[in-house]
Amino acid sequence: METVLRKGKQPYFTEEHDALRERVRQFVKKEVSPYISEWEELGTFPVSMFRKMGSLGFLGLRYPESVGGQGGDYFMQMVLAEEINKCGAGGFPMGIAVQTDMATPPILQFGSPYHHEHFLKPAIRGEKIAAIGISEPNTGSDVSSIQTRAVKQGGEWVLNGAKMYITNGTRADFVTMVVRTSDEPGYKGISLFLVETDTPGYSVSRKLDKVGMRSSDTAELILDNVRVPDKNLLGVEGKGFYQIMWQLQGERMIAAASAIGIMDFCYEKAAEAVENRGPAYRRSLLDIKRRIEVCREMTYATAFRYSQGEVPSKEISMIKLLSAQTAHYAAGQALKLLGEEAAGPDHPVQRLWRDSRLNRIGAGTDEVMKEIIAKEIGL
C-alpha cells in the first residue's frame, strides 16, 4: 500500500490511518490504561496481551497479507506506536514494539519460507513472543565486539555466551540472536540465528530490576552449549552485522514514533492541569509544544521517506536522537509544571519521565547517534 500525500490537508495521514488511530485508542482505553499501574508493580504485562493484539491485527499492521499481516503502510505502524505510548507507561509499548518492529522485521526481510511459517506468522498472531538479542554483558554500543560464539558441528550450530538487557526476555518463545560465527575480528563473521527458548542449554539467568520501563520484563540470558539447527540461520552467514544494522534503522524509526506518543501524552497532562494558571505557565507550555511540533514534523517527513522504501540513516539517526531528547525533556518539564502531586507512584508523568530516559540509551545512545551523524556529514 502506498502512502498518499493528502494535498491541502495535513500531508501524512489518510482517513484509514485516522480510523486505525481511533481503534487503537479505544483498545488502549479499555484494555491497557486501567491495568497499567498493576503491570508496573508486577514488572511485566500478561502474555494474553500479545494474543489480544494479534487477533486485532495490531501485531502485523505493515506486514504483507501473505505472512498474515494487514498489508498497511509505515504510517499505520506509526499510528500504533504513538497511540499505545499514550497508555501512561513506556514499558508495555516497548514490549510490543520489540515484537512488531525489532525482533520480527529481519525475519520478513532475510528469512526463509520456514522462518516465515514457523516464527513470523505465529509472532504476528501473538502466539509466539519474540525478543531480540544484541547487547551482551561486555558489549553495548559497540555491536561489532560481541563475544557470543556459534560453532558449526554437523548440521547444527552450538552457541555459547550471554545476552544482556533483553526485552521480553523472561518469557520469549524465540530470540533473534546476533552471534559470532567465525574467528574473524570486528563486524566480519557475525550472523543471525532464530533461537527457540525451549532448547536445552538456554536459560534466563536473572530478571533485571530497572529504574523505569517497569511494565516490561528485561532479562539476562545464558547460552550454554545451545544446539541450533542450521535451518535457523537467518539470512547469510557472515552478513549478520549488515543485517542487524538494517534492523536498527527500523528500531530507531519506531523509537521516534513511540517518543512522539510519550511527549504528546505528557504535554496533554500538563496542559490540562495548568493551562489556566497564568502567563508563566502558558509560556512554559508553549515552549514544550514548540519542541514537540518540530520533532513531530521531522519524524513524519523522515517516516515518509522510510515508507517509500528509502533508509536515510542520517535522518533516522537525527530523529532518534531528537525524539529521545525531546520526549525526556517534555516529560521532565511536564512533571515540573505538575509539581509534587505528580510524584506519586501511580502518576503516569513521573513514570514517563523515568521511562523516556531509556530512549536516550536504547537502540543506540545519544553519543552513538552523534557519531553516525558526524560520519554522514563527512567527518
Partner 1 sequence: MSHWIFSEEHDMFRSSFKKMIRNEIESRIENWEEDQLIPKWFIARLSELGLTGMTPDREKSMDEVMEAVLMEELAKTGAAGPALVLQEHNNAVSLLDRTNKSKLVPDFLSAALEGKRIGTTVAADPGDMTVKIKEGFFNLNGRLKNVRNGGMADFLILSFFDDDKSGFITVDFASEGITVQKTENMLGWRSSSVSEVEFRNVKISTENLLCQGDEAEKQRRLINDQKRITWSLICTGIAEKALEAAVSYSRTRQQFGSALSEFQSLRHKMADMALNLEKSRNMTYRAVYDSIYNIDSFQRQIVLEEAVSMALHVCDEALQIHGGAGYMMEFPVQRFWRDTKMFDLHLNNIPAEKVVMSL
Near partner 1 in 211-250, by CB under 8 A: none
Task: Sort strands 174-180 and 130-133 into parallel, antiparallel or unpaired.
Answer: parallel
Q: How far is the CB of 93 from partner 1 (least distance, A)?
A: 24
Q: Closest by alpha carbon to 256, among 115, 15, 74?
A: 74
The verdict on 264 binding partner 1 (CB under 8 A) reads no
Q: Which of 196, 220, 264, 315 binds partner 1 (CB under 8 A)?
A: 315
- Identify the CA nearest to 124 among candidates 103, 140, 150: 103
Ramachandran sector of residue 185 (left: φ over 0; alpha: ψ -120 to 50; beta: rest) = beta
Characterise 168 by phi-psi region: left (phi > 0), alpha (psi -120 to 50), beta (else): left
Active-site residue identified among 83, 251, 275, 297: 251
Question: Is residue 46 near partner 1 by the rule CB under 8 A?
Answer: no
378 binds partner 1 (CB under 8 A): yes
Closer Cβ to partner 1, 160 or 365, answer by number: 365
> Between β-strands 190-196 and 174-180, what pairing exists: parallel, antiparallel or unpaired?
antiparallel
Helix, strand, or coil (residue 344): coil
Nearest alpha carbon to residue 315 among 253, 259, 366? 253
The answer to whether the CB of 216 falls within 8 A of the CB of 49 is no
Task: Indicate the residue among 7 and 65 with the shorter CB distance to partner 1.
Answer: 7
**Residue 266 sits in the site that holds partner 1 (CB under 8 A):** no
Contact status: 7 vs partner 1 (CB under 8 A): yes
Does residue 374 interact with partner 1 by CB under 8 A?
yes
Q: What CA–CA distance (Å, rounded) separates 343 from 334?
A: 12
Residue 8 binds partner 1 (CB under 8 A): yes
Would you call 251 a catalytic residue per the annotation?
A: yes
CB of residue 258 vs partner 1: minimum separation in angstroms? Answer: 18
Q: Which stretch binds partner 1 (CB under 8 A): 16-24, 134-142, 245-253, 304-312?
A: 304-312
Is residue 117 close enough to count as binding partner 1 by CB under 8 A? Answer: no
**CB-nearer residue toward partner 1: 42 or 301:** 301
Minimum separation from the CB atom of position 295 to partner 1 (A): 7
Compute the distance between CA of residue 263 and CA of residue 133 in angstroms, rounded to an integer. 28
Tell me the C-alpha distance between 189 and 28, whole Å: 43
From first CA to last CA, the distance across the chain in angstroms is 38
Tell the smallest beta-carbon distance from residue 119 to partner 1 (Å): 32
Q: Which is nearer to partner 1, 145 or 284 (CB)?
A: 284
In this complex, which beta carbon is closest to partner 1, that of residue 35 or of residue 304? Answer: 304
Comparison of 236 and 286: residue with beta carbon closer to partner 1: 286
Is 279 in contact with 181 (CB distance < 8 Å)?
Answer: no
Q: Kindly tell me which residue out of 46, 308, 339, 343 binds partner 1, with binding defined by CB under 8 A.
A: 308
Name the packing angle between helices 74-84 and 279-307 (round to 10°).
150
Taking every pair of Cα atoms in the chain, the longest distance, rounded to a whole number of angstroms, is: 73
Binding site for partner 1 (CB under 8 A): 5, 7-11, 271, 275, 282, 285-286, 289-290, 293-295, 297-298, 301, 304-305, 308, 310, 312, 314-315, 318, 321-322, 367, 369-371, 373-374, 376-379
Active site amino acids? 251
